[in-house]
Structure 1
Amino acid sequence: MPSIDASTVAGVSVELTWECCWIGLPKVALQRHHLDPETFREMVVAQGGACAICGYVAADRPLLIDHDHACCPGKHSCGRCVRSLLCAGCNGFLGVLEVTGELGSTRLQAMRAYLARWGVDPFEAEQFRRAGERHRARHAKQGIDCRCYHCTGDMTQPSGWIAEALAAGRPVWDEVERRNEEALQRIRDAGLSVDGL
């Protein structure tokens, strides 16, 4: 199996040259998708190191290579059907959407009900604040320059809309549902079907 020097792959610190999932994933993924390190680096740079769907920059995790499963089902691709790089969250949700056709309100309500069964509301003000403290501490410890609301206090950054809704006393779950519907509309506008979602 050919080895890829971690220092040649954008987004990977030169210091992190030991083998682990963080380093191994790009190496394995490049092989699975018939991509060379230069092409992968160009994709990362072209996307500004951010997920092609949500724009989140996860400095502590690699972006995942997304490909068209209609062309190449499974984990491997021919390389010609590679679309872009996604964060783990968007890659997972996109996979669910493509495989099951479910991502809309039904799944969102099921997630909300699941959390409620465990007595968790991630959008309750104190829960949100504590999660933000843990997130900020973890990123500070790891030296990650995260630009989210929790790390910057800037409400225009990712998760800032939650803080804004909480401060205004607006129901956050209603906003989640509204944003979900907007996302479904963007899928429709892109010419994809969201029937049954």
Structure 2
Amino acid sequence: MTAEPDAFRRNRTAYRIAEPLITFHHAVVRPESAQLSRRRGAAQVWERSRATFLSKVVGPHFERLCREWVEWHAEPATFGGMPIQVAAGTVADPEARTRHELDVVVHGAVGQDQGILLSVGEAKWHKRMGVEHLARLRRVLRLLEARGIDTARARPACYSGAGFTSDLHAAEARGEVVLVDLERLYTES
């Protein structure tokens, strides 16, 4: 079990099972144990459980890998500063009566200044990301700015295992977003 503090709410901590195999057992195997013990219908069990597997096992594991990449491998130029604290976070949206969950929030150092918000990001393992994800991250940055957080240096970032739309690549070319795909995650900094 790991305790992960929220990037924006000091009094909020998320507790997660650290080992993906144990997460898989709790999310997929246990709920289907009666069916699996009969040794038939495995294909139907998998069909019913695939979405749960992607959202409860693979998704959180990919999010953690993205945070680790930022913390240990991303060059300072990627986010415009040296990453110091990388975490997940939640931001309330009172107008929409919801909250936004962020998978990768980067605070870091720029020159002598410490604790600067460098990036807010979203990670999707099995979904191709598009400009709608960038629009959501921009909304989050506006909400943070309204709360008095300096977002002047913050860069939106999208992390995807399935790729990005051409519109999102165009936004990256204009310097509006940082894109991290599997190739970058595993071969570049």
> TM-score, normalising length from structure 2?
0.29
Higher helix share: 1
Higher strand share: 2
